[in-house]
Structure 1
Amino acid sequence: MAKRRANGEGTITKRKDGRYQAAAYVFRPDGTRTRKFVYGKTRDEVAGKLTELQEKTRQGIPAASSTMAFGDYLTYWLAAIAPERLKPATLSSYEGLSRLYIRPALGKKKLNRLSPADVRRFLTDFKVSCLCCLRGADKERPEGKRNCCAVGRCCKRRPSARTVQYIHAVLRSALQQAMREELIARNVARIVETPTVDTKEVRPLDPAEVRMLLKTAESHRLYALWVLLISTGLRRGEALGLTWSDVDLAGGQVRVRRNVQRIRRELIFGTPKTTRSVRTVALSKGCVQALTVHREQQERERKVAGPKWKPVPEHPTGLIFTTMTGRVTDPRSLNRMLTILCRDAKVRRVRVHDLRHTCASLLLAQGVDARTIMETLGHSTITMTLDTYAHVMDTTLRAAAERMDDALEFGSKKGEETEPDGDA
């Protein structure tokens, strides 16, 4: 006779249709307990699901149900599921969008009653509403904290098309998980068309502006960083996450294998954006020289700082671009530095990410093929490279057309008479 399971361990039984089911008491979002069932084809499969259910209960994570409010399900999804699948920066962004915009509008809807019309209406209203009225729209505010439209004026700040697209992505991801857990029959967010985003034309610096910027940056203590960003197209977080062990100055190459991002108040090291972002990039001679000088400068700064040189123990050792006390440079501070450099160099103001676009445009102007640029920048597909830089490929395309003229000898004079034979 099988051993009887103890009280609180849950129950596993075999159904008449041949499947197995397990039941255990779990927490609801309101703090009360209820009995929840899970199903599977084998006893081992159900036992695994039961263990997972009970582990979440021990951690105080509420169990999802089809009748729970969508706002409660979002809380459950962001706490229990999303952290295992999303990078920290993406998770932080999703949490903010859910708290500020989605829950106030759709949070009280029942999960199993959410319809495509609800999602479509929400996105349509979201596009045209001012941001300060959207935030916490379902909450009563004190007299002095009313939204701008309530006092007869509008801030006229509208969500960007990209924000609308991110909102739709959060809804789609959360409801897809609800489908996997068999809480809903369909993902209503997938039925609604994804909002389109008008791609902004990239405006990289031209060669003359780059030379002026680098000449101005020669006296900057992070001069090597600006040279690296322009010559290799590394992302801001990738460059600041580099250590000296990642760089081979003799071989003239750098290995990109981590990045650093500010998540709320912390600087967190993680893996690069995509699998293709983990790559090895060749360094120009000018970049190698700048890094060599920077390493000598960093050693002098270390000696001057003395006991004040205190890198964070949890961070990688041997970071290349640090503060005066050996700590990692905050990615956000680069924006302020570049703004000052652009002003002093008398070139138009650009973002740090625009230096990545500048690298690609310079490579294209030198006739480098799109595949090589894709590998250098760490794009996931060559389509992304071609779509992003299609408008700066005019010079390359014109050169290709001229080479075709040369190959077909269209440049030779038509009707040109051949020299007569000597016997003529």
Structure 2
Amino acid sequence: MSGRRGNGESSVYFSESDGKWHAWCTVGAKPDGRPDRRHRMAATETEVRAKLKELEKQRAAGRVRKAGRPPTIGQWMDVFLDTVCARKVEDGSMAPRTLDDYRSKNRLYITPGIGKHRIDRLAPEHLDKLYLTLLRSGGEDGEPLASSTVLKVHRVVSRALKVAMQREMITRNVATLLDAPSAEEQEIEPLTRAEARAVLDEAGRRRNGARWSVGAALGLRQGEALGMRWSYLDFETGMLRVHWQLQRLKWRHGCEDPHACGERLHRKACKRDCTAHRTYKRGCPKPCAKDCTEHASRCPERRDGGLVFRTPKGKNKRIVPVPAPLLSILKAQRTAQKRERLVAGELWEEHDLVFCQANGRPIDPRHDWEELQDILEVSGVAARGTHASGRHTAGTLLTENGVGLRVVMEILGHSQPRVAQRYTHVSSPLAEDAATKMGDALWG
């Protein structure tokens, strides 16, 4: 036997019982205060001393992982989503819909692809293989995923591994050792000036028609427009504080055992609706998903779902000027709403909303989208989403009229210039005028 053993120092020795060389190294203290001694073993003294040297190097750099068997990626993703991210949702530092998106990416792509790898044995090539598979045939229907979706998967993995490294479960984040997937810039399809005027003309004949004027003129997101409140609109100064948004969140189980609750609801649904499974005494032979989110809406103690009001994050919470013509339209909207309040009487629910149902309750985003599709069809304009018809149209019109990129970012609430730069790619009268001037300069 050789090496040192006293005072918590490293030791190296040969064991005749197994014919192996062994090394022990104290890397710190366990939670109960006892020394945390780690063991290394090899066939030769040279090999075991090399392992010991690496362990001591990790100890000096503070990169020794915690004691105990590291979890798999699948196990850690459950902990990361159910505790780390869930806590951030509770304190308001993460939006609930962001967590829903994380859960979806994990359920569809991360856990099926790399979930069985132990977290400390995950290598960059495992991620390369995962991303390649997703880009080739990663969709549920076997179709390739969009590069932007694969980039989102990479970001979720990277954030989960970053937290694992902070908690000393791993010594490095392997997601940082490879280039992130590049996402192609999505083409935007805003309304032209003529289309926007046709849409607003048709909307003006309808109840809550001012909602679409707000979208096109101010570039508000759908949730921001539906969550707009009278008390945040100053008719004297013409300023609107965008401090609230309406969102529909997925229901989550409120019971103690979501899995058992989901299994019960799943079997009940199969026995009632699915003729192919009625012969099974225990209901559907396919087990429910682990978190049973598809059944949470029917949980007797469901929570955190439905229509909710939330404050926008970061620069999305902003103050924007309202054009004078739009102020006149909104004054007419307020007058019409006062009449509806009188008609509704005791049925009216006061939420201070600028746009609401005839009883004062919030408008479901789905119904808002359906109303837009009907307006577009009647106006003879191709179908588009609420973002293209409002937000993208506002950004494009601002750019076409010579408004600077920074001002566009301030009005729309963008935090990154690259997001607002999408509107500069659209051919504008300014660009056409510049081309005319260049032609005159070169060819007269």
- Aligned partner (choices 384, 401, 404) of residue 366 of structure 1: 401
Native 8 Å contact 2:376 2:383 kept in 1: yes
Map 1:11-160 onto structure 2 (within 5 A). Answer: 21=29, 23=31, 67-83=70-86, 84=88, 85-129=93-137, 131-132=139-140, 155-160=141-146
Q: Which amino acid is 1:266 matched to?
A: G
Q: Which secondary structure state, in structure 1, belongs to the residue aligned with residue 31 of structure 2? A: strand
Deviation of 1:15 (Å): 8.4
Query: Counterparts of 1:199 and 1:218 in 2: how far apart (Å)?
Result: 34
Q: 1:365 to 1:90 in 2, by over 3 A?
A: same
The superposition leaves residues 242-280 of structure 1 with CA deviations (integer Å, 9 ceiling, x where unpaired) of 21111011221201122222121422322324x222211
Query: Counterparts of 2:109 and 2:26 in 1: how far apart (Å)?
Result: 45
1:380 aligns with 2:419: no
Native 8 Å contact 2:227 2:309 kept in 1: yes
Native 8 Å contact 1:236 1:352 kept in 2: yes
Q: 1:405 to 1:80 in 2, by over 3 A?
A: same
Query: Counterparts of 1:382 and 1:77 in 2: how far apart (Å)?
Result: 31
Q: 1:125 to 1:156 in 2, by over 3 A?
A: closer
Structure scoring higher RCO (CA < 8 A, sep ≥ 6) equals 2
Q: Which amino acid is 2:194 matched to?
A: A
Query: Counterparts of 1:64 and 1:325 in 2: how far apart (Å)?
Result: 59
Native 8 Å contact 1:67 1:112 kept in 2: yes
Q: Which secondary structure state, in structure 1, belongs to the residue aligned with residue 354 of structure 2? A: coil
The superposition leaves residues 10-64 of structure 1 with CA deviations (integer Å, 9 ceiling, x where unpaired) of xxxx989999845259xxxxxxxxx998xxxxxxxxxxxxxxxxxxxxxxxxx99
Query: Counterparts of 1:64 and 1:167 in 2: how far apart (Å)?
Result: 29
Map 1:138-217 onto structure 2 (within 5 A). Answer: 155-217=141-203
What is aligned with 1:331?
365
What is aligned with 1:308?
347
1:270 aligns with 2:310: yes
Q: Which secondary structure state, in structure 1, belongs to the residue aligned with residue 320 of structure 2? A: strand
What is aligned with 1:3?
none
The superposition leaves residues 134-173 of structure 1 with CA deviations (integer Å, 9 ceiling, x where unpaired) of xxxxxxxxxxxxxxxxxxxxx4543222221111111111
Q: Which secondary structure state, in structure 1, belongs to the residue aligned with residue 361 of structure 2? A: coil
The superposition leaves residues 153-203 of structure 1 with CA deviations (integer Å, 9 ceiling, x where unpaired) of xx4543222221111111111001111111112111222321112112222
User: Cα RMSD (Å) of the superposition?
Assistant: 3.1
Native 8 Å contact 2:203 2:210 kept in 1: no
Native 8 Å contact 1:365 1:395 kept in 2: yes
Query: Counterparts of 2:69 and 2:79 in 1: how far apart (Å)?
Result: 13
Query: Counterparts of 1:259 and 1:81 in 2: how far apart (Å)?
Result: 24
Q: Which amino acid is 1:123 matched to?
A: Y
Q: Which amino acid is 1:104 matched to?
A: P
Q: 1:222 to 1:339 in 2, by over 3 A?
A: same
Q: Which amino acid is 2:310 matched to?
A: G
Native 8 Å contact 1:207 1:362 kept in 2: yes
Query: Counterparts of 1:369 and 1:218 in 2: how far apart (Å)?
Result: 30
Q: 1:23 to 1:122 in 2, by over 3 A?
A: same
Query: Counterparts of 1:359 and 1:201 in 2: how far apart (Å)?
Result: 16
Native 8 Å contact 2:26 2:35 kept in 1: no
Q: 1:74 to 1:21 in 2, by over 3 A?
A: same
Deviation of 1:129 (Å): 2.2
- Aligned partner (choices 340, 343, 347) of residue 381 of structure 2: 347
Q: Which amino acid is 1:374 matched to?
A: M
Q: Which amino acid is 1:363 matched to?
A: L
Native 8 Å contact 2:224 2:246 kept in 1: yes
Deviation of 1:105 (Å): 2.3
Deviation of 1:89 (Å): 1.1
Q: Which amino acid is 2:372 matched to?
A: L
Native 8 Å contact 1:165 1:196 kept in 2: yes
Deviation of 1:364 (Å): 2.1
Native 8 Å contact 1:246 1:254 kept in 2: yes
Query: Counterparts of 1:323 and 1:15 in 2: how far apart (Å)?
Result: 72
Query: Counterparts of 1:189 and 1:123 in 2: how far apart (Å)?
Result: 12
Native 8 Å contact 1:15 1:21 kept in 2: no
Q: Which runs of 5+ in 1 are unaligned?
A: 1-13, 26-34, 38-62, 133-154, 312-316, 415-424
What is aligned with 1:42?
none
Native 8 Å contact 2:70 2:120 kept in 1: yes
Identity of aligned residues (%): 33
What is aligned with 1:293?
332
Query: Counterparts of 1:223 and 1:24 in 2: how far apart (Å)?
Result: 66
Native 8 Å contact 2:214 2:220 kept in 1: yes
The superposition leaves residues 203-248 of structure 1 with CA deviations (integer Å, 9 ceiling, x where unpaired) of 2111111111111111221111100110111111111122111101
Query: Counterparts of 1:72 and 1:258 in 2: how far apart (Å)?
Result: 36
What is aligned with 1:357?
392
Structure 2 length-normalised TM: 0.68
Q: Which amino acid is 2:321 matched to?
A: A
1:260 aligns with 2:243: no
